Chain A
Amino acid sequence: SQTIHQWPATLVQPVGSPLSLECTVEGTSNPNLYWYRQAAGRGLQLLFYSIGIDQISSEVPQNLSASRPQDRQFILSSKKLLLSDSGFYLCATEQDNEKLFFGSGTQLSVL
């Protein structure tokens, strides 16, 4: 069965600082990977998806970037965080080609 590891679980960062959130997937090979964000009081928004190493698609223009240096590793980054980057970040992969399977998420607070 698939497992998604996301860390850290919570993060408090000052405005203007860099960001790196890591997601690793076990139990599958060549997975499609996704980064979603839930802003306070809002739904889940797709930020990036990747169908393979170094293959990243961005769904919304933003202050964030994503990279996939290895098959089962997906990284979300920012050079300078904004207040509006605060939110709950979720990594996901496909399960049985029927649904998305989510990690436990990272709560990011930018102050």
Chain B
Amino acid sequence: GAVVSQHPSWVICKSGTSVKIECRSLDFQATTMFWYRQFPKQSLMLMATSNEGSKATYEQGVEKDKFLINHASLTLSTLTVTSAHPEDSSFYICSAANRVYQPQHFGDGTRLSIL
């Protein structure tokens, strides 16, 4: 149980394009979903927290107009990297939790490469 699916797992695109990453909780309803990014040999950095039906809360230093988050249902959240540039290349990981105090369950991540 508690499976989180992330898609795509790997994407390469040209600078200036927008990229959408999907995060789905397959066997539970996720009241809260989280988005992280991770650079090589570094730890995960929390980008934003999203609750179903409400606006996402972004961590300090994360541009909300650059990283658009939509959490339209209890099983789906999307992260759109708008007008992506090479410095946005990173490993993006989502997680989901169905209630407070319960563990977060993570997807397998999306490796984004901007040329």
Q: Do A and B associate with each other?
A: no
